[in-house]
A and B are shown apart, each in its own frame.
Chain A
Amino acid sequence: MDKQGNTYTFLYASIMVIGVAAILAFISVSLKPIQSKNVAVAKKIDILKSVGIASDASTAEKLYEEHIGSNTKVLNIEGNEVDGNAFDIDLSKEVRKDLKERSYPLYICKLDNGEEKLIIPLRGAGLWGPIWGYISLNADRNTVYGATFDHKGETPGLGAEISKDFFQTPFKGKTIYNEAGDFTSIDVVKGGGTENNPHAVDAISGGTITSKGVSAMLQDCLSGYEKYLKN
C-alpha cells in the first residue's frame, strides 16, 4: 500500500489511537484501587492536620481510627443528622448544590487530652482550580482550633502558599461568630492579621484571587453549619 496515501494515513491513525486508548484504559482501571486508597489516606492526613495531629501515609489510618474513627455525622441545613457516611461524601458535588439541599459532613475528633474538636471540611475555587481544606472548632463551636488548606494547581509561590503554615497558623483563635452571635466567617484580606480583628487573617500578596477564594470558601461552607453550631 502507498505509505503516503490517504487510506494508509487514516488507517494508521485509527489503529494507533484505538490501540493506545485500550492500553491506557487497562492501566487506569487496574491502578484505580491503589490510587483511591492513596486519596483516602491523603484526606485523613489533611483532616488530622487541622487539629494539629501530624501524620504520614503509614500512620494516618491508625491515628484517624484512634481520634475520629466512626465519630462522624452528616447534617442537613437545619442542623439535623441525616443518613450517610461523612467520609465518603464528595464535597465537590455538594458545593454545586443549593445550600438547602447539601449534605454537611462533620468529623468529631477526640484529642489525647480528652478535648473534642469539630472538624468541618471546606471546598471552593482558587484561581486555576479547586481548593479545599479543613477547619476545626473548639467545644464553644466558635473559636477556630486549627485550619489546613490545600489546592490542586495554584501558582507556586503565590496562591499555592495557602498550603503553608504561615498562612494557616493565624486562623487559630479566630472566631466565626461576633459578640452578637451573628455569623461572620473569617475574612482573608490585606491587613486582616491585626490582633483586634477576630474575624480576619492576612491574605497572600500576589495571591489575591486564591485568597479571595479561601474567604469565599469559608463563608460558603461554614454558613450551612450555622443551625447545628448554635444548638
Chain B
Amino acid sequence: MSDKEPLFSAKNRKLMTNPLNAQNPITIQVLGICSALAVTAKLEPAIVMSISVMFVVVFANVIISLLRNTIPARIRIIVQLVIVAALVIIVDQILQAFAYEVSKQLSVFVGLIITNCIIMGRLEAFALGNKPWQSALDGVGNAAGYGIILVIVAFFRELLGSGTLTLPGLGTLHIIPQFIYDLGYQNNGLMILPPMALVTVAVIIWVQRSRNKDLIES
C-alpha cells in the first residue's frame, strides 16, 4: 500500500462493503451456489462453512498477492490451486481435531471449498494484480458477502424446515414453541431439501434487485 493511503481509506472500505451488496458473490456474480445449497439446511454448518471459506479466501488472497510478482504466468493457476488446496486441508484437519461433529456434517464440502468458484475467482481477478492488504480486505469482503447469504438462507431453511436454530456453542434452540405444533402447525419438510435453497436464494435476489434497480440486467 502506498505511504499516503490510510489502511481504511474510502477505496479500501469499498473493497469490503461492495461484495456485501452490489457485488455479492452469490446473488450478483452467482458464484459458490453449490455449497450454498448443500450446507444451509442448518445454521451451524452454514456459519462454520462461512468462517472456513473466509479463512481460505483471505489467506489465499494474501499469499498469492505476496507471490504475485514471482509466479510464472504459465503455471499461475496451478500455483493458486496448490495454495488453496493446502489451506483447505489445513482447515479440514483443524475441524477434525477441534470440531469433529461439524467436520462430519460438512464432510465432503470442506474439501470442496477448493472448487468454490469464489476463491479462484478472487485470486485470478484481484489478488494477482493487487497488494496484500487490499487483497486481504477483498477476501474478507467476498467471504462475508458469501457468508451473509449462507446464513440468511440457513436461517430460513432451518426455522421453517425444522423449527429450530442451531448455533455454534449453544446447540439446537427450539424456536417454534410446542403449543403452535399442538394447534396443527407442521414443519415444512421441503425446506430442508436442496431445491428450497435455490428458491430461497432466488427470493433474496428478487428482493435485492427490486430494491436496487441498477442491478437489473437489461
Contacts and interface: CB of A to CB of B under 8 A. Distances in A.
A31 B94 contact: yes
A4 B74 CA distance: 7
A57 B86 contact: no
Nearest to B98: A34
Contacts of B96: 31, 35, 38
B90 interface: yes
A20 B83 contact: yes
Contacts of A153: 107-108
Interface string B73-97: 1110011001100100110011011
Interface string A131-167: 0000000000000000000001100110000000000
Contacts of B38: 156
A13 B78 contact: yes
B82 A8 contact: no
A27 B82 CA distance: 16
A28 interface: yes
Interface string B152-195: 00000000000000000000000000000000000000000110
B72 interface: yes
A169 interface: no
A3 interface: yes
**Interface residue range, chain B:** 20 to 34
B218 interface: no
Nearest to B96: A35
B11 interface: no
A20 B93 contact: no
A12 B72 contact: yes
A24 B86 contact: yes
A9 B72 contact: yes
B120 to A, nearest CB: 17
B75 A12 contact: yes
B100 interface: yes
Contacts of B93: 27-28, 31, 35
10 closest A-B pairs by CB: A38-B100, A34-B97, A31-B97, A9-B72, A20-B86, A35-B96, A35-B97, A31-B93, A27-B93, A24-B89
12 contacts: A3-B70, A9-B74, A12-B72, A12-B75, A12-B79, A13-B78, A16-B79, A23-B86, A27-B89, A28-B93, A34-B97, A35-B100
